[in-house]
Amino acid sequence: MTSTADLLRFSLSLSPHSSSTHSSSIPLLPKRRRNAAVLNPHKFLSPNFPNRRRSGFTLFAKAVDFKSPLTERLKRDGDGDGAGDSTVLLDVTGMMCGACVSRVKSILSADDRVDSVVVNMLTETAAIKLKKETPTNSEAPGEELAKKLTECGFPTKMRESGLGIEEKVKKWKEMVAKKEALLVESRNRVAFAWTLVALCCGAHASHILHSLGIHVGHGSILEVLHNSYVKGGLALGSLLGPGRDLLFDGIRAFRKGSPNMNSLVGFGSIAAFGISMVSLLNPALQWDASFFDEPVMLLGFVLLGRSLEERARIRASSDMNELLSLISTQSRLVIAPSGSDSADDTVLCSDAMCIEVPTDDIRVGDSVLVLPGETIPVDGKVVAGRSVVDESMLTGESLPIFKEKGFPVSAGTINWDGPLRIEASTTGSNSTISKIVSMVEDAQGREAPIQRLADSIAGPFVYTVMTLSAATFAFWYYIGTHTFPDVLLNDIAGPEGNPLLLSLKLSVDVLVVSCPCALGLATPTAILVGTSLGAKQGLLIRGGDVLERLAGVDLITLDKTGTLTEGKPSVSAVASLSHGESEIIRIAAAVEKTASHPIAKAILARAESLNLDLPSTRGQIAEPGFGTLAEVDGRLVAVGTLTWVHDRFQQKTDISDLKILEESVMSQSSINSSSSIHSITAVFVGREGEGIIGAIAISDNLRNDAKSTILGLKQRGIRTVLLSGDREEAVATVAEAVGIKNEFVNASLTPRQKSGAISSLKSSGHCVAMVGDGINDAPSLALADVGIAFQIEKQENAASNAASIILLGNRLSQVVEALDLARATMAKVHQNLSWAVAYNIVAIPIAAGFLLPNLDFAMTPSLSGGLMALSSIFVVTNSLLLQFHGHQSKGKSATPTKISN
Write the pLDDT tens digit of every residue in 592-612. 887 767 788 889 999 999 988
pLDDT classification of 587: cutoffs 50, 70, 90: very high
**What mean pLDDT do residues 234-238 have?**
84
The predicted structure's pLDDT at residue 44: 27
Tell me 153's DSSP state: T
Tell me which residue of 602, 544, 539 sits closest to 572, measured CA to CA: 602
**Structural contact between residues 751 and 64, judged by C-beta atoms closer than 8 angstroms:** yes
Tell me how far apart the alpha carbons of residues 104 and 453 are, in angstroms, rounded to a whole number: 16
**Structural contact between residues 594 and 622, judged by C-beta atoms closer than 8 angstroms:** no
- Does residue 80 surpass a pLDDT of 50? no
- Does residue 537 surpass a pLDDT of 90? no
Catalytic site residue from 366, 559, 700, 773 = 559
Listing DSSP states for 488-550 in one string gives GGSGGGTTTT-HHHHHHHHHHHHHHH--HHHHHHHHHHHHHHHHHHHHHTTEEE--HHHHHHH
Tell me how far apart the alpha carbons of residues 792 and 788 are, in angstroms, rounded to a whole number: 13
- CA distances (Å), origin 151, targets 257, 547, 624: 12, 35, 54
The predicted structure's pLDDT at residue 567: 74
The predicted structure's pLDDT at residue 821: 93
pLDDT classification of 215: cutoffs 50, 70, 90: low
Q: What is the pLDDT of residues 818-858, one digit of tens each?
A: 999 999 999 998 998 888 889 889 999 999 999 999 888 88
More confident residue, 382 or 89: 382
How many CB atoms neighbour CB 634 within 10 A? 8
**What mean pLDDT do residues 800-823 have?**
86
**What mean pLDDT do residues 17-36 have?**
34
| Cα 326 to the center of its chain, rounded Å | 20
The predicted structure's pLDDT at residue 845: 93
- Does residue 361 surpass a pLDDT of 50? yes
Q: What are phi and psi of 579, to 5 degrees?
A: -120, 165
**What mean pLDDT do residues 261-284 have?**
77
| Cα 131 to the center of its chain, rounded Å | 26
**What mean pLDDT do residues 725-735 have?**
82
Residue 854, classed as helix, strand or coil, is helix
Residue 114, classed as helix, strand or coil, is strand
**What mean pLDDT do residues 466-488 have?**
91
- Does residue 63 surpass a pLDDT of 60? no
pLDDT classification of 79: cutoffs 50, 70, 90: very low
The predicted structure's pLDDT at residue 43: 30
**What mean pLDDT do residues 57-63 have?**
27
- Does residue 187 surpass a pLDDT of 70? yes
Average pLDDT of every residue of the chain: 75
The predicted structure's pLDDT at residue 554: 94
The predicted structure's pLDDT at residue 224: 67
- Does residue 136 surpass a pLDDT of 60? no
Q: What is the pLDDT of residues 863-895, one digit of tens each?
A: 777 787 788 778 888 888 888 876 555 544 433
The predicted structure's pLDDT at residue 230: 80
- Does residue 455 surpass a pLDDT of 70? no
More confident residue, 472 or 206: 472
**What mean pLDDT do residues 218-247 have?**
76
pLDDT classification of 96: cutoffs 50, 70, 90: confident
pLDDT classification of 552: cutoffs 50, 70, 90: very high
- Does residue 397 surpass a pLDDT of 90? no
**What mean pLDDT do residues 101-121 have?**
84
**What mean pLDDT do residues 115-129 have?**
78
Tell me which residue of 596, 561, 558 sits closest to 681, measured CA to CA: 561
- CA distances (Å), origin 255, targets 252, 260, 533, 702: 5, 11, 40, 66
Q: Looking at this protein, which amino acid is placed at residue 737?
A: A
- Does residue 240 surpass a pLDDT of 70? yes
Q: What is the pLDDT of residues 364-380, one digit of tens each?
A: 888 889 988 888 888 88
Listing DSSP states for 728-742 in one string gives HHHHHHHHHHHT--G
Partner residues linked to 557 by β-bridges: 721, 770
**What mean pLDDT do residues 623-638 have?**
86
Residue 83, classed as helix, strand or coil, is coil
Q: What is the pLDDT of residues 750-768, one digit of tens each?
A: 778 888 899 999 999 999 9
**Structural contact between residues 394 and 433, judged by C-beta atoms closer than 8 angstroms:** yes
- Does residue 218 surpass a pLDDT of 60? no
Tell me which residue of 620, 740, 619 sits closest to 4, measured CA to CA: 740
Tell me which residue of 63, 61, 66 sits closest to 17, measured CA to CA: 61
Length of the chain: 901
Order of all β-strands in the sheet with 420-426? 353-358, 330-335, 367-370, 420-426, 379-384, 408-409
Intra-chain end-to-end CA distance of the chain, in Å: 35
Order of all β-strands in the sheet with 719-723? 539-541, 805-807, 786-790, 768-772, 555-558, 719-723, 745-746
Q: Looking at this protein, which amino acid is placed at residue 847?
A: A
Would you tell me the crossing angle of helices 432-445 and 165-201 to the nearest 10 degrees? 50
The predicted structure's pLDDT at residue 325: 67
- Does residue 816 surpass a pLDDT of 90? yes
The predicted structure's pLDDT at residue 115: 85
By CB neighbour count within 10 A (0-12 exposed, 13-18 middle, 19+ buried), where does 321 fall?
Answer: middle
More confident residue, 330 or 802: 330
**Structural contact between residues 621 and 589, judged by C-beta atoms closer than 8 angstroms:** no
Decide if 700 is catalytic: no
**What mean pLDDT do residues 286-301 have?**
69
Q: What is the pLDDT of residues 301-347, one digit of tens each?
A: 778 767 776 776 666 555 556 666 667 778 888 876 655 554 456 78
Tell me how far apart the alpha carbons of residues 98 and 240 are, in angstroms, rounded to a whole number: 26
The predicted structure's pLDDT at residue 556: 95
